[in-house]
């Protein structure tokens, strides 16, 4: 067992699964339903990872009312179809299994709401590896990464886990910044959606799940 970390937090999109196809297709459907031009594939990819309401505001320039409308349209379609249009990154499941078999407590920490996050993990038979599944709240009040990380730590502590030396595994800048806001270091995975510039502030970068497992478990 690792003596470096006392508990592990995992991002989902871009870290455990390549969920971009389902997310971008659902976003395209959302824009079409709202009678708006559909952004390019590269523009839609920028939505993958950060809280969706933030992306509607920052990337699409939506008002609060437009964002709320878009979220309703998006969620209905995503829960029905889009959530399952994803691929598990090869080897990551083995890392989660190894952590589960060790004595290290582990929580998901995703800006995706907990229902679709749980459905995705169950779809790939990964949910049982996690002690806690933490995500955005249904009303999106808790969706910023720093708030999700804080909630994950609270839930782990409530189950008696040692949260004195946590680490987050993620693939985007908002993972690094959200973890840092809670004094949690981040291991950055290079197989996700983040650019090289987004790795700034992480304590390590890994290019394969085997490297990740070695860092986490020794």
What confidence tens digit (pLDDT) does each residue in 187-205 have? 999 999 999 999 999 999 9
Average pLDDT, the chain: 95
pLDDT band per the 50, 70, 90 thresholds, residue 39: very high
**CATH fold for domain 7-18+87-217:** Rossmann fold (3.40.50)
Torsion of CA 23, 201, 184, 3, to 10 degrees: 110
Is residue 147 annotated as a catalytic residue, yes or no? no
- List pLDDT tens digits, range 52-73: 999 999 999 999 999 999 999 9
The boundaries of every CATH 3.40.50.1000 domain in the chain are 7-18+87-217
Separation CA 114–CA 133 (nearest Å): 7
Q: Is the pTM of this model over 0.95?
A: no
Instruction: For residue 186, give the 3-state DSSP assignment.
Output: strand
Q: Indicate which residue of 11, 13, 147, 171 is catalytic.
A: 11
The boundaries of every CATH 1.10.150.240 domain in the chain are 20-84
What would the two tokens of residue 62 be? 């939506």
CATH of the structural domain 20-84, one choice from 1.10.287.610, 1.10.150.240, 3.40.50.880, 1.10.287.1080:
1.10.150.240
- List pLDDT tens digits, range 120-152: 999 999 999 999 999 998 877 778 999 999 999
The percentage of residues in the chain with a pLDDT greater than 70, rounded to a whole number, is 99
Predicted pLDDT at 49: 82
For residues 134 and 148, the answer to whether their CB atoms sit within 8 Å is yes
């Amino acid at each position: 067992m690792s003596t470096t970390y006392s508990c592990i937090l995992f991002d989902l999109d871009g870290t455990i699964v390549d969920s971009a196809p389902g997310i971008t297709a659902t976003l395209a459907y959302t824009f079409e339903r709202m009678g708006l031009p559909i952004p390019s594939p590269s523009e839609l990819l920028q939505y993958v990872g950060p809280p969706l309401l933030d992306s509607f505001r920052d990337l699409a320039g939506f008002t609060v009312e437009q964002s709320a409308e878009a979220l309703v349209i998006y969620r209905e379609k995503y829960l029905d179809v889009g959530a399952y249009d994803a691929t598990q990154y090869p080897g990551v499941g083995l890392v989660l299994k190894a952590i589960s078999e060790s004595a290290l407590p582990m929580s998901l920490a995703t800006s995706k709401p907990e229902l679709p996050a749980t459905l995705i993990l169950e779809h790939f038979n990964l949910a049982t590896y996690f002690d806690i599944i933490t995500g955005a709240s249904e009303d999106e009040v808790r969706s910023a990464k720093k708030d999700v990380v804080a909630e994950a730590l609270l839930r782990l502590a409530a189950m008696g886990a040692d949260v004195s030396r946590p680490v987050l595994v993620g693939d985007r800048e908002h993972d690094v910044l959200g973890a840092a806001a809670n004094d949690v270091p981040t291991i950055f995975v290079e197989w996700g959606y983040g650019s090289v510039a987004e790795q700034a502030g992480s304590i390590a970068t890994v290019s394969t799940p085997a490297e990740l497992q070695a860092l986490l478990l020794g």
